[in-house]
């Protein structure tokens, strides 16, 4: 038997792989015939020898081949594997191809595995599917999340289920101290911060230099990757909020640069690295400009949520007006 697990959502594909291993170990108690093979370095002869070696205790073998599509010997491995695929497919042993990277759909091995193996693709969850997954995760811990907070969490975290899972655990752990089982937006404001990516800092720099073309380029890069417009607006809002707070604190601090950074960090509860990086941006804006921009961001958010404007259009207009 051949199984093929692939796709960019490694959180769910890893869960599926662990489920297969757990089920195998439940039947084959010794676990001595479970093998992990690093696909990136695997030579076909080594794989074939492992496959054909008689198993101990007459147990079925489970061979897990990870990331074979990045193999430097890929063409030769594929050629020899495909010639014997019927032998592998009809065997009692189980071969699992586990691929973390995106695989070209025109790859010869991909085509055959996708057709002849038990194949499962793990694409990133979006929209209602992502929310449904999150609700089930909260339910597993005996908690609920209100719709508004769930929307906010999706905007903050995006499609990265590894981080999503960690943030859920953080919220659940915090709520264990409370009788209330439902997680609210207030809980998120207290515990969760948007994932400020490098491109957002670049976007803010471009906005500070009034380089609208470059700022729009960075924003549309995020949109092309599948990031939610409201999530991007939330990140911009978060960063400009930090700029305002740091700018205000900076005006009343006359210490040396390092002491100033440490003082602001302590007062605002921010990491010194974030303070240092944000201070550089804050110097490019006047305090009055920051307040005006922050009001524009608030208005854009309100217009989107009340249905007055499409999110992508609101982002474009926001940048054009700065």
Identify whether the C-beta of residue 148 lies closer than 8 Å to the C-beta of residue 189.
no
pLDDT at 258: 55
Judged by phi (left if over 0) then psi (alpha if -120 to 50, else beta), residue 82 lies in alpha
Rounded mean pLDDT, 59-67: 84
Percent of the chain with pLDDT over 90: 12
Rounded mean pLDDT, 3-10: 90
DSSP 8-state secondary structure symbol assigned to residue 29: T
Rounded mean pLDDT, 104-131: 86
CATH 3.40.50.300 maps onto the chain at 2-121
Paired sense of beta strands 62-66 and 94-99, if any: parallel
Identify whether the C-beta of residue 35 lies closer than 8 Å to the C-beta of residue 125.
no
Highest mean pLDDT among 27-31, 119-123, 191-195 belongs to 119-123
Q: Is the pLDDT of residue 18 over 90?
A: yes
The CB density around residue 142, as the number of other CB atoms within 10 Å, is: 10
Tokens of 84: 């014997």
Measured between alpha carbons, how far is 59 from 173 in angstroms, rounded to an integer?
42
Percent of the chain with pLDDT over 70: 87
Identify whether the C-beta of residue 263 lies closer than 8 Å to the C-beta of residue 255.
yes
Residue 131 to residues 137, 147, 161, 294: CA-CA distances in angstroms? 10, 9, 11, 29
> In the CATH hierarchy, which top-level class contains the domain 198-320?
mainly alpha
Measured between alpha carbons, how far is 31 from 60 in angstroms, rounded to an integer?
10
pLDDT in tens, 141-173: 888 898 888 887 887 787 889 989 999 998 888
Q: How sure is the predictor about 255, in pLDDT bands with cuts at 50, 70 and 90?
A: low
Sequence-ordered alpha helix ranges (H) in 209-268? 212-224, 229-251, 257-268
CATH 1.20.272.10 maps onto the chain at 198-320
> In the CATH hierarchy, which top-level class contains the domain 2-121?
alpha beta
Across the chain, what does the average pLDDT equal? 81
E strand or H helix that includes residue 104: none
pLDDT at 135: 93
CATH 1.10.8.60 maps onto the chain at 127-191
pLDDT at 279: 78
Rounded mean pLDDT, 47-56: 74
Paired sense of beta strands 144-145 and 182-183, if any: parallel
Rounded mean pLDDT, 42-70: 78
Q: How sure is the predictor about 65, in pLDDT bands with cuts at 50, 70 and 90?
A: confident
Q: Is the pLDDT of residue 16 over 90?
A: yes
Q: Is 127-191 a domain of CATH 1.10.8.60?
A: yes
Measured between alpha carbons, how far is 18 from 98 in angstroms, rounded to an integer?
11
Residue 208 to residues 174, 214, 232, 282, 293: CA-CA distances in angstroms? 38, 11, 17, 9, 11
pTM recorded for the entire structure = 0.59
């Amino acid at each position: 038997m051949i199984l093929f697990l692939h796709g960019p959502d490694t959180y769910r594909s890893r869960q599926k792989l662990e489920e297969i291993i757990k089920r195998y170990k439940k039947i084959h108690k010794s676990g001595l015939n479970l093998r992990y093979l690093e696909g990136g370095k695997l030579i076909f002869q080594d794989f074939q020898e492992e496959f054909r070696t008689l198993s101990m205790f007459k147990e079925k073998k489970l061979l897990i081949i990870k990331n074979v599509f990045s193999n430097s010997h890929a063409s030769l491995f594929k050629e020899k594997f495909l010639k014997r695929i019927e032998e592998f497919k009809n065997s009692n042993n189980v071969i699992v191809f586990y691929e973390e990277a995106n695989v070209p759909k025109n790859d010869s091995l991909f085509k055959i595995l996708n057709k002849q193996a038990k194949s499962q693709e793990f694409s990133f969850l979006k929209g209602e599917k992502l929310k449904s997954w999150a609700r089930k995760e909260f339910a597993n811990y005996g908690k609920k999340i209100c719709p508004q907070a769930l929307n906010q969490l999706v905007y903050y975290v995006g499609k990265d289920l590894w981080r999503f899972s960690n943030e859920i655990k953080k919220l659940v752990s915090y709520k264990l101290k409370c009788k209330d089982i439902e997680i609210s937006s207030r809980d998120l404001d207290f515990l969760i911060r948007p994932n400020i990516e490098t491109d957002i800092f670049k976007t803010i720099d471009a906005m500070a230099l009034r380089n609208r073309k470059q700022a729009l380029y960075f924003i549309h890069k995020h949109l092309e990757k599948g990031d939610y417009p409201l999530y991007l607006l939330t990140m911009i809002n978060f960063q400009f909020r930090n700029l305002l707070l740091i700018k205000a604190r900076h005006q009343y601090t006359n210490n040396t640069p390092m002491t100033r950074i440490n003082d602001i960090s302590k007062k605002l509860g921010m990491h010194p690295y974030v303070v240092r990086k944000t201070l550089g941006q804050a110097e490019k804006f006047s305090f009055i400009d920051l307040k005006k921009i922050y009001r524009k961001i608030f208005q854009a958010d309100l217009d989107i949520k009340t249905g007055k404007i499409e999110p992508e259009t609101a982002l474009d207009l926001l940048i054009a007006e700065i």
